Amino acid sequence: MENYELLLSGITFIPIVGMVVLLIWGNATKKQAALIGILSEGFALAIPLVLLSALRRNDSVIFSFPWIPNMGISFRLSLNWLSLTFLLTEVLVTLAAMIYSLGEKMGEKNSNYYYALLLLFSLGMSGTTLADDVFLFYIFWELMLVASVLLILIWGHGEIRFRVALKYFIITHLGSLMVLVCLITMYVNFGTASITEWVTQAGNLPINMQTFLIVFFIIGFSVKMAIYPLHIWLPDAHTVAPMPVTIILAAAMLSMGTYGILRFPFGLFSLETLQPFAIWMMIAGLVSEVYGALMALAERDIKRIIAFSSVSQMGYILFGLGTLTQRGMEGAIMHVVYHAIVKALLFMVVGIIISVTNERDIQKIGGLGFKFPILCVCAAIGVLGISGMPPLGIFNSEWMIFSGGFDSGISIVLTVMALIGSLLTVIYGLRFFGGIFFGKKIPDSLPTKAPLGLIVPTLAVTIFLIIEGLMPGPLLAWAMKGLTSIVGSFH
């Protein structure tokens, strides 16, 4: 085994070490706990970057270790261009959320558990992206859920959190079970749990079984993506969770559903087999896009507005995947990344607004723009970003998704509707921005300055968003390579 393969396993093991340290270190202060958390997560960020050169040579790095040999299950991680894109997104979002947590008023007590759980949450996601063995995939997939539920349960807002966490767990678990049925069906049919080996054999399955698997996979992963009408867990979970957890949920965890769809139905079956489902995915994406935007328009709670905007944005992604064209799918992958950055930024802004005004009703907040100019600029860039304004990232990805829609030739009408539907994003974005930062100044007794610990990470994310938008080249290249690695080359 080469050194860089061992290094790959570090992405999962170093956060575990960090967690163990945090669990043992009972009386760590919040800063100490955060330091350990950020350091371990920093390794998880550095390792894939170090592995970039190896990845350029081989197109994938694989770490394999036998785990349950009698069931054909091994601890097998694989880094390729697709998983790299999702991994980096997820790790960066977690890092941002960890840094943001430092500025949150949460109390010192038990902060070691808090950071340990954040690490577990991130481990679940990075494991999901890297796993090349279905048993392992499912374990990480559920770890992600367990960690997020615990975070909501313990640090969520209000007594309602117990019910919300339960609802979140049960509904997303239903999706997971659908995925599990598919995974085990294939495991039983192929006699191996290695996903790489599945790719070569999946085409030989009987056609009705392929249909069944595709439908179950897409519905199961759509629950995690919060596609209408499977989104019902999302608004409550996002609202009740503490802000850093909301950031990870919205910016990183939702995209795991996309990754699942790309990895399983798209990665295993040919595009011809997927063709009959294309239009349904596009319709579901369109409905989700419009529904999420309308709900965001109707909401008064500022956290829920941004939460519903996630439902809408995931609609774009599913629409892009549904086009089954190169541009549409690349656009969907890029949209995942851009959406992560923009959504993290918007939730950070909301977090700051809530912390300075102690108010979440958009009608009771107003005129903050004069008092907090930096925050206002960040929010403006976030809102412009989500509305798809060039040169901010989402413009690029939406462009590709819609041109994919026209390329596909499935339905021009749907694409035009989706294009027009994106206007709604602008409307709710401007309502959000205008309502909060302009208009009458309603809360009187406001602090003069926004908390520095919160504003610095927000600024950093804003700058990152601008850079990413201006230089989409590397991301596009990764998305192209990642897509080629799963669906083969387009002609």
Partner 1 sequence: MSGMFEIVLPAVILIGGAFIVYVISRLLGVNNRVESLITVLFLTGTLLALINNFLDIPVLFSNNNAVYGLFDPGGIILIPSALGIFIMIISIIITILITVFSGEYLARDPRYLVYYPLILLTQAGLFGMFLSNNLFNLFLLTELTTIAASSLIAFRFHQEIAIKAGFKYLIMSSLGTMMMLLGIYFFYRSNGDMHLIHVLESPDNFTRVAAACFLLGFSLKAGVFPLHTWVPDVYGNAPSAVSGLLAGVFSKSMLFILPVICLRLGMTREELGMYLMIFAGFNMLVGSIRMLGQNQLRRFLSFSSIAQTGYLMFGLGIGFYYNLDQAFSAGLFLFLVIAMMKCLAFLASGVYQFYLGSQDIEKIQGAGLYMPLVALCFSIALAGLAGIPLLAGFAGKWMIFSVALATGDLFSIIGLVVFLMSTLISLGGYLPVIVKQYQYSDQLENVFVDQASSLKISRWMLVPVALLALMVVIIGFYPGPWINLVDYVIRWMLI
CB of 419 to partner 1, least distance (A): 39
DSSP labels, 250-312 = IIIIHHHHHHHHIIIIIHHS-HHHHHHHHHHHHHHHHHHHHHHHHHHHH--BHHHHHHHHHHH
460 near partner 1, judged by CB under 8 A: no
CB of 27 to partner 1, least distance (A): 15
- Tally of residues, the chain: 491
Which span (133-141, 320-328, 395-403, 416-424) binds partner 1, by CB under 8 A? 133-141
DSSP labels, 156-202 = -SSTTHHHHHHHHHHHHHHHHHHHHHHHHHHHHHHS--BHHHHHHHG
Number of residues that bind partner 1 (CB under 8 A): 27
Mask: binding to partner 1, 332-351, rule CB under 8 A, as x and -?
A: --------------------
Q: How many CA atoms lie within 13 A of 13 on its CB side?
A: 9
CB of 104 to partner 1, least distance (A): 21
427 vs 432: CA distance, rounded Å? 9
Applying CB under 8 A, among 143, 297, 419, 466 the residue interacting with partner 1 is 143
CB of 367 to partner 1, least distance (A): 38
477 vs 148: CA distance, rounded Å? 32
Gap between the terminal Cα atoms of the chain: 36
219 near partner 1, judged by CB under 8 A: no
CB of 291 to partner 1, least distance (A): 26
The CA-based angle 390-331-387, given to 5 degrees, is 35
Closest C-alpha to 277, from 207, 227, 325, 215: 215
Q: 147: Cβ–Cβ under 8 A, 6 or more apart, which residues? A: 117, 118, 120, 121, 123, 124
CB of 68 to partner 1, least distance (A): 4
Applying CB under 8 A, among 1, 71, 467, 477 the residue interacting with partner 1 is 71
Which span (24-32, 178-186, 197-205, 393-401) binds partner 1, by CB under 8 A? 178-186
Contacts to partner 1 from residues 397-456, by CB under 8 A: none
477 vs 397: CA distance, rounded Å? 13
66 vs 73: CA distance, rounded Å? 7
CB 205 within 8 A of CB 214: no
Taking the least distance from each CB to partner 1, the nearer of 64 and 411 is 64
Taking the least distance from each CB to partner 1, the nearer of 70 and 445 is 70
Taking the least distance from each CB to partner 1, the nearer of 219 and 279 is 219
68 near partner 1, judged by CB under 8 A: yes
Which span (21-29, 62-70, 372-380, 458-466) binds partner 1, by CB under 8 A? 62-70
135 near partner 1, judged by CB under 8 A: yes
Partner residues linked to 73 by β-bridges: 68
Taking the least distance from each CB to partner 1, the nearer of 16 and 423 is 16
Taking the least distance from each CB to partner 1, the nearer of 71 and 420 is 71
- Residue whose structure tokens are 């085994």: 1
CB 458 within 8 A of CB 345: yes
CB of 443 to partner 1, least distance (A): 30
Partner residues linked to 115 by β-bridges: none
157 near partner 1, judged by CB under 8 A: no
CB of 109 to partner 1, least distance (A): 12
184 near partner 1, judged by CB under 8 A: yes
CB of 141 to partner 1, least distance (A): 8
Applying CB under 8 A, among 23, 49, 162, 423 the residue interacting with partner 1 is 162
232 near partner 1, judged by CB under 8 A: no
232 vs 113: CA distance, rounded Å? 28
Taking the least distance from each CB to partner 1, the nearer of 188 and 452 is 188
The CA-based angle 268-273-275, given to 5 degrees, is 120
The CA-based angle 391-392-397, given to 5 degrees, is 95
Taking the least distance from each CB to partner 1, the nearer of 230 and 368 is 230
CB of 192 to partner 1, least distance (A): 12
Which span (31-39, 180-188, 313-321, 362-370) binds partner 1, by CB under 8 A? 180-188
CB 360 within 8 A of CB 293: no
Residues found near partner 1 in the complex (CB under 8 A): 67-71, 135, 138-139, 142-143, 146, 153-154, 162, 165-166, 169-170, 173-174, 177, 180-181, 184-185, 187-188
